[in-house]
Structure 1
Amino acid sequence: MSAPPHPSTGYAPAFVQRVDDWIRLSGHRVCALAGLQGTGKSTLGAQLAAQARSRGERLVVLSIDDFYLGRRERLQLGRTVHPLLATRGPPGTHDVALACEVIDDLAAGRATRLPRFDKIADRRLPPSRWPRVSADRVLLEGWFLKVPPQTRGQLAEPLNPLERLDDPDGTWRAWCNRALAEDYPVLWQRLPWLLFLQGPGFDTVPTWRWQQEQTLQAANPGRTTMSHSQVMRFVQFFERVSRHALATLPAIAQRTVRLDAVRRPLD
């Protein structure tokens, strides 16, 4: 099964320039970029970093994905809390303390090592392979940045086959929601300015995420990435918080840009 590459040409230069202006005019050394899976956050981040380099500035773009817990730690959570926690990505599967430490070092002008995560191998690379950098500005990108927790009532009913079959009593989703409420606010406090790329709805995410996986496969021809059916199951891990992000982040973000189904900015 094929799909167009994700997004191959990047965002238009005029849009990149506008976002760059917003970030610089915010006056903050650390800013954030949120958007559901497949919205092109990494692509936009790379374009912004290139824009900064053209001015002789160092914009370090971090991804929340690089702060996933290691496979051993997630397997331990899977054994002791709930089997679904062995899968990376949802709230509660990140090393929040490490993310705070790296951002604090960069914001203070100190050189620091940036964690790297191998998504195909599903493991964090050893520290000896982390690049050491310093920054003039920092941009953290991620799919659920600053999303608030849901209420207990909102958690009650499962909303997809994964939750109905693998989490019928709600243990997993309640644990992830508790992490949103208790673990991540210390990281959110370090993100005073947020741009939200608001896609047309969660229904586009499976297609966009599959495009991402194909792009990853094309860049790693000798390795095996997820199949289409595996990606369709994988996105169900993110559906609940993604839908909540679409409902809440426009009122939280300092800037929101709506995207159409092919990622063209509408605002």
Structure 2
Amino acid sequence: MNTHAEASEPVLLREERDGCVTLRLNRPRQFNALSEALLGALQSELDAIAKQADVRCVVLAASGKAFCAGHDLREMRAQSEKAYFQQLFARCGAVMQSIAALPVPVIARVQGVATAAGCQLVASCDLAVAAASARFAVSGIDVGLFCSTPAVALTRNISAKRAFEMLATGRFIDAATAQDWGLINRAVADAALDEAVAEFVAQIAAKSPAAIRHGKAMFYRQRQMPLPDAYAFASEVMACNMMEADAGEGIDAFLQKRKPVWRA
């Protein structure tokens, strides 16, 4: 392993084009394991994107053969203090929550394996597209560690019994199963992965930026509310959305049988 080369390369790459930001995990030799440095870089970029009004969508991708193999076990094994692990898992949880809190959709582009916190990362994204050859697991149990923090995201995507089966056995599921269970949106031929992600990006970019931002924030908040509160909250959000110029433009365009022109 060329550790010097690894140290000289950024652990996270950022690309921006036509309002879409791609964040690419860049530790391919370690299967993009979430080191402290990578978690810190992800948090910094997510914080920066949250303040950019011109961003319409984020793609979370990865270099090399794997999407993400979870936490960096070598880095973890070098520590022995409980306080270190409390801080590490809290930091990882903050990254996952920042994805949900981001005002624009985040799409996971998955190849290879997504295991443990890597599977958590997929589950935390708003949308996910995977190559047909991709595999998913929360396999901490295989090394004596129940994937408790990945369970939070996993159980918000798939049923309790399926989630517990994955957590207790550590077994892998393929991309087709992940789609069937609701962990990902699409399983596509490996060669079609970029095209499928681009299709999602284009569909989102064609919609009103204001409506998407209103909608994503509402979507996650209402899921935690009792039904009457959820409807009251959603009604208020829709009323606020109706006050946006884009809503008037969209309705006028529909009535006039033309394409809407959204505000940037």
TM-score for both structures, normalised by structure 1: 0.27
Query: Higher helix share goes to which structure?
Result: 2
Which structure has the larger Rg?
A: 2
